[in-house]
Amino acid sequence: MTRTLQQAVEASLRTDQPLAGRTALVTGGSRGLGREIAIAFAAAGADVAVVSRKGDACAALAKELADATGRRVSAHGAHVGDWGRLGVLLDEVEDTLGPVDILVNNAGMAPLYPRLDAVSEELFEKVFAVNVKGPFRLMAAAGRRMVERGGGVMLNISSMGSLRPTASDLPYAAAKSALNTLTAGFAQEYGPTVRVNTILAGPFATDVSKSWDMAAVDLMARDWPARRVGEPEEIVGAALYLCGPHATYTTGALLAVDGGRLAAP
Protein backbone atom coordinates (compact mmCIF):
# COMPACT_ATOMS: atom_id res chain seq x y z
CA MET A 1 0.00 0.00 0.00
CA THR A 2 1.32 3.44 -0.93
CA ARG A 3 1.94 5.63 2.10
CA THR A 4 0.64 9.17 2.25
CA LEU A 5 2.92 12.16 1.81
CA GLN A 6 2.48 12.99 5.51
CA GLN A 7 3.57 9.47 6.51
CA ALA A 8 6.64 9.75 4.28
CA VAL A 9 7.60 13.12 5.77
CA GLU A 10 7.16 11.87 9.34
CA ALA A 11 9.32 8.84 8.59
CA SER A 12 12.06 11.08 7.18
CA LEU A 13 11.95 13.36 10.20
CA ARG A 14 12.61 10.38 12.47
CA THR A 15 15.92 9.63 10.76
CA ASP A 16 17.81 12.12 12.96
CA GLN A 17 17.53 9.52 15.73
CA PRO A 18 16.81 6.34 13.73
CA LEU A 19 17.67 4.01 16.62
CA ALA A 20 15.84 5.88 19.38
CA GLY A 21 14.36 3.51 21.92
CA ARG A 22 16.55 0.61 20.82
CA THR A 23 19.17 -1.35 22.77
CA ALA A 24 22.23 -2.57 20.88
CA LEU A 25 24.91 -5.07 21.88
CA VAL A 26 28.17 -4.66 19.96
CA THR A 27 30.91 -7.28 20.31
CA GLY A 28 34.48 -6.24 19.69
CA GLY A 29 33.11 -2.83 20.58
CA SER A 30 36.07 -1.21 22.31
CA ARG A 31 38.19 -0.53 19.22
CA GLY A 32 38.26 -0.52 15.43
CA LEU A 33 35.05 -0.97 13.48
CA GLY A 34 33.12 -2.02 16.58
CA ARG A 35 34.04 1.20 18.36
CA GLU A 36 32.81 3.28 15.42
CA ILE A 37 29.56 1.32 15.27
CA ALA A 38 28.98 1.71 19.01
CA ILE A 39 29.58 5.47 18.77
CA ALA A 40 27.27 5.84 15.77
CA PHE A 41 24.48 3.81 17.37
CA ALA A 42 24.56 5.86 20.57
CA ALA A 43 24.55 9.06 18.52
CA ALA A 44 21.55 7.66 16.64
CA GLY A 45 19.60 7.28 19.88
CA ALA A 46 20.33 3.72 21.00
CA ASP A 47 21.45 2.52 24.40
CA VAL A 48 24.59 0.46 23.79
CA ALA A 49 26.34 -2.45 25.46
CA VAL A 50 30.04 -2.41 24.58
CA VAL A 51 31.54 -5.90 24.73
CA SER A 52 35.12 -7.10 24.29
CA ARG A 53 37.74 -9.19 26.03
CA LYS A 54 39.23 -6.00 27.47
CA GLY A 55 36.79 -4.90 30.13
CA ASP A 56 38.80 -1.81 31.06
CA ALA A 57 38.76 -0.56 27.48
CA CYS A 58 35.01 -1.15 27.31
CA ALA A 59 34.49 0.79 30.54
CA ALA A 60 36.55 3.74 29.32
CA LEU A 61 34.63 3.96 26.04
CA ALA A 62 31.28 3.46 27.78
CA LYS A 63 31.86 6.41 30.12
CA GLU A 64 33.10 8.68 27.35
CA LEU A 65 30.24 7.75 25.06
CA ALA A 66 27.56 8.13 27.72
CA ASP A 67 28.92 11.57 28.62
CA ALA A 68 28.98 12.65 24.98
CA THR A 69 25.53 11.36 23.95
CA GLY A 70 23.45 11.17 27.12
CA ARG A 71 22.60 7.56 26.28
CA ARG A 72 22.92 4.63 28.65
CA VAL A 73 26.11 2.77 27.74
CA SER A 74 27.29 -0.32 29.60
CA ALA A 75 30.61 -2.17 29.51
CA HIS A 76 31.02 -5.94 29.55
CA GLY A 77 34.22 -7.95 29.50
CA ALA A 78 33.61 -11.20 27.64
CA HIS A 79 35.36 -13.54 25.23
CA VAL A 80 32.87 -14.42 22.50
CA GLY A 81 34.61 -17.76 21.95
CA ASP A 82 33.44 -18.84 25.42
CA TRP A 83 30.14 -20.59 24.68
CA GLY A 84 28.98 -20.72 28.28
CA ARG A 85 29.67 -17.02 28.87
CA LEU A 86 27.36 -15.75 26.15
CA GLY A 87 23.98 -16.56 27.66
CA VAL A 88 25.13 -14.95 30.89
CA LEU A 89 26.34 -11.95 28.90
CA LEU A 90 22.89 -11.46 27.37
CA ASP A 91 21.34 -11.60 30.82
CA GLU A 92 23.84 -9.03 32.13
CA VAL A 93 23.12 -6.62 29.28
CA GLU A 94 19.36 -6.99 29.60
CA ASP A 95 19.48 -6.55 33.38
CA THR A 96 21.40 -3.30 32.82
CA LEU A 97 19.84 -1.82 29.68
CA GLY A 98 16.72 -3.83 28.96
CA PRO A 99 15.89 -6.22 26.10
CA VAL A 100 18.49 -6.37 23.31
CA ASP A 101 16.87 -5.71 19.96
CA ILE A 102 20.04 -5.04 17.94
CA LEU A 103 22.95 -7.49 17.98
CA VAL A 104 26.19 -6.68 16.15
CA ASN A 105 28.65 -9.56 15.84
CA ASN A 106 31.81 -7.60 15.14
CA ALA A 107 34.42 -9.39 17.26
CA GLY A 108 36.96 -11.22 15.13
CA MET A 109 40.53 -12.41 15.00
CA ALA A 110 42.95 -13.18 12.17
CA PRO A 111 46.34 -14.17 13.63
CA LEU A 112 49.36 -14.24 11.36
CA TYR A 113 51.21 -17.42 10.41
CA PRO A 114 54.22 -18.04 8.16
CA ARG A 115 52.63 -20.62 5.84
CA LEU A 116 49.60 -22.89 5.74
CA ASP A 117 51.38 -26.04 6.90
CA ALA A 118 52.52 -24.10 9.99
CA VAL A 119 48.94 -23.33 11.11
CA SER A 120 48.44 -25.03 14.47
CA GLU A 121 45.27 -26.69 15.65
CA GLU A 122 45.15 -24.15 18.47
CA LEU A 123 45.26 -21.21 16.04
CA PHE A 124 42.62 -22.78 13.82
CA GLU A 125 40.26 -23.45 16.71
CA LYS A 126 40.69 -19.95 18.15
CA VAL A 127 39.88 -18.36 14.80
CA PHE A 128 36.70 -20.41 14.42
CA ALA A 129 35.70 -19.92 18.05
CA VAL A 130 35.70 -16.12 17.77
CA ASN A 131 34.52 -15.71 14.17
CA VAL A 132 31.92 -18.50 13.96
CA LYS A 133 31.10 -20.26 17.23
CA GLY A 134 30.52 -17.08 19.22
CA PRO A 135 28.29 -15.40 16.62
CA PHE A 136 26.30 -18.63 16.22
CA ARG A 137 25.65 -18.87 19.93
CA LEU A 138 24.77 -15.19 20.30
CA MET A 139 22.43 -15.21 17.31
CA ALA A 140 20.72 -18.38 18.48
CA ALA A 141 20.14 -17.03 21.98
CA ALA A 142 19.47 -13.36 21.18
CA GLY A 143 17.40 -14.16 18.10
CA ARG A 144 15.04 -16.43 20.02
CA ARG A 145 14.51 -13.71 22.61
CA MET A 146 13.87 -11.18 19.85
CA VAL A 147 11.24 -13.42 18.26
CA GLU A 148 9.47 -13.87 21.58
CA ARG A 149 9.43 -10.09 22.09
CA GLY A 150 8.19 -9.26 18.61
CA GLY A 151 11.32 -8.61 16.56
CA GLY A 152 14.85 -7.29 16.24
CA VAL A 153 17.90 -7.00 14.04
CA MET A 154 21.18 -8.91 13.90
CA LEU A 155 24.21 -7.72 11.94
CA ASN A 156 27.38 -9.69 11.27
CA ILE A 157 30.67 -8.12 10.27
CA SER A 158 32.31 -10.47 7.80
CA SER A 159 35.11 -9.88 5.32
CA MET A 160 35.54 -9.62 1.59
CA GLY A 161 38.18 -12.30 2.17
CA SER A 162 35.30 -14.74 2.62
CA LEU A 163 34.70 -14.42 -1.12
CA ARG A 164 38.31 -13.73 -2.16
CA PRO A 165 40.48 -15.85 0.15
CA THR A 166 44.25 -15.90 -0.01
CA ALA A 167 46.81 -18.27 1.47
CA SER A 168 47.81 -15.64 4.03
CA ASP A 169 44.36 -15.44 5.64
CA LEU A 170 42.77 -18.80 4.83
CA PRO A 171 41.49 -19.91 8.28
CA TYR A 172 40.03 -16.43 8.83
CA ALA A 173 38.48 -16.34 5.36
CA ALA A 174 36.98 -19.81 5.86
CA ALA A 175 35.53 -18.75 9.20
CA LYS A 176 34.01 -15.61 7.70
CA SER A 177 32.58 -17.67 4.86
CA ALA A 178 30.86 -19.78 7.50
CA LEU A 179 29.55 -16.58 9.09
CA ASN A 180 28.01 -15.63 5.73
CA THR A 181 26.24 -18.99 5.72
CA LEU A 182 24.96 -18.41 9.25
CA THR A 183 23.47 -15.13 8.08
CA ALA A 184 21.30 -16.89 5.51
CA GLY A 185 20.28 -19.64 7.92
CA PHE A 186 19.34 -17.38 10.82
CA ALA A 187 17.46 -15.03 8.49
CA GLN A 188 15.29 -18.00 7.51
CA GLU A 189 14.91 -19.31 11.05
CA TYR A 190 13.94 -16.07 12.75
CA GLY A 191 12.13 -14.24 9.95
CA PRO A 192 9.90 -12.43 9.41
CA THR A 193 10.17 -10.52 12.68
CA VAL A 194 13.97 -10.67 13.02
CA ARG A 195 16.23 -9.48 10.21
CA VAL A 196 19.78 -10.81 9.82
CA ASN A 197 22.36 -9.24 7.50
CA THR A 198 26.10 -9.11 6.96
CA ILE A 199 28.61 -6.45 5.96
CA LEU A 200 31.52 -7.76 3.89
CA ALA A 201 34.21 -5.42 5.13
CA GLY A 202 37.24 -4.66 3.02
CA PRO A 203 40.60 -3.47 4.38
CA PHE A 204 40.18 -0.75 7.00
CA ALA A 205 42.87 1.28 8.75
CA THR A 206 42.24 -0.11 12.25
CA ASP A 207 44.68 -1.34 14.89
CA VAL A 208 44.88 -4.63 13.01
CA SER A 209 46.27 -2.88 9.95
CA LYS A 210 49.42 -1.93 11.87
CA SER A 211 50.78 -5.42 11.17
CA TRP A 212 50.16 -5.17 7.42
CA ASP A 213 52.76 -4.57 4.74
CA MET A 214 51.20 -1.26 3.73
CA ALA A 215 53.40 -0.92 0.65
CA ALA A 216 51.93 -4.18 -0.65
CA VAL A 217 48.40 -3.12 0.29
CA ASP A 218 48.79 0.25 -1.42
CA LEU A 219 50.03 -1.55 -4.52
CA MET A 220 46.96 -3.81 -4.54
CA ALA A 221 44.68 -0.85 -3.95
CA ARG A 222 45.67 0.64 -7.29
CA ASP A 223 43.27 -1.84 -8.89
CA TRP A 224 40.35 -1.01 -6.59
CA PRO A 225 37.81 1.63 -7.62
CA ALA A 226 38.39 3.53 -4.34
CA ARG A 227 42.22 3.29 -4.74
CA ARG A 228 42.73 3.09 -0.93
CA VAL A 229 41.88 1.30 2.30
CA GLY A 230 38.90 2.50 4.30
CA GLU A 231 38.79 4.63 7.42
CA PRO A 232 36.95 2.95 10.34
CA GLU A 233 34.14 5.50 10.39
CA GLU A 234 33.27 4.57 6.81
CA ILE A 235 31.58 1.39 8.06
CA VAL A 236 28.96 3.42 9.89
CA GLY A 237 26.57 4.23 7.06
CA ALA A 238 26.03 0.59 6.13
CA ALA A 239 25.61 -0.47 9.77
CA LEU A 240 23.04 2.25 10.47
CA TYR A 241 21.15 1.38 7.31
CA LEU A 242 20.99 -2.37 7.96
CA CYS A 243 19.99 -1.91 11.61
CA GLY A 244 17.67 1.04 11.03
CA PRO A 245 14.12 1.74 9.86
CA HIS A 246 14.91 1.98 6.13
CA ALA A 247 16.05 -1.64 5.74
CA THR A 248 12.87 -3.39 6.80
CA TYR A 249 12.77 -5.42 3.56
CA THR A 250 16.45 -6.35 3.70
CA THR A 251 17.39 -9.64 5.32
CA GLY A 252 19.82 -12.44 4.52
CA ALA A 253 21.90 -9.89 2.58
CA LEU A 254 25.66 -9.59 2.16
CA LEU A 255 26.59 -5.94 1.66
CA ALA A 256 30.14 -5.20 0.50
CA VAL A 257 31.80 -2.14 2.05
CA ASP A 258 35.24 -2.61 0.58
CA GLY A 259 36.09 0.27 -1.72
CA GLY A 260 35.13 -1.88 -4.68
CA ARG A 261 37.66 -4.63 -3.93
CA LEU A 262 35.21 -7.37 -4.86
CA ALA A 263 34.57 -5.68 -8.18
CA ALA A 264 38.27 -5.33 -9.01
CA PRO A 265 40.04 -7.73 -11.37
Provide the number of structural domains found in the chain: 1
Within a domain: residue 263?
no
Whether 133 is in a domain gets the answer yes
In a domain, 12, yes or no: no
Amino acid identity of 97?
L
Q: What percent of the chain has pLDDT over 90?
A: 82
pTM (2 decimals)? 0.92
The CATH number assigned to the domain holding 115 equals: 3.40.50.720
Catalytic site positions: 172
Establish if 7 belongs to a structural domain. no
Does residue 221 fall inside a structural domain?
A: no
Could you tell me which residues come within 8 angstroms of residue 120 by beta carbon, excluding any fewer than 6 positions away?
Answer: none
At 167 the three-state DSSP class reads helix
Report residue 177 CA to chain centroid gap.
15
Residue 1 binned pLDDT confidence (cut-offs 50, 70, 90): low
Position 66 in a domain:
yes
Domain that holds residue 177: 18-213+233-255
Query: Is residue 2 one of the residues assigned to a domain?
Result: no
Between 13 and 141, the more confident residue is: 141
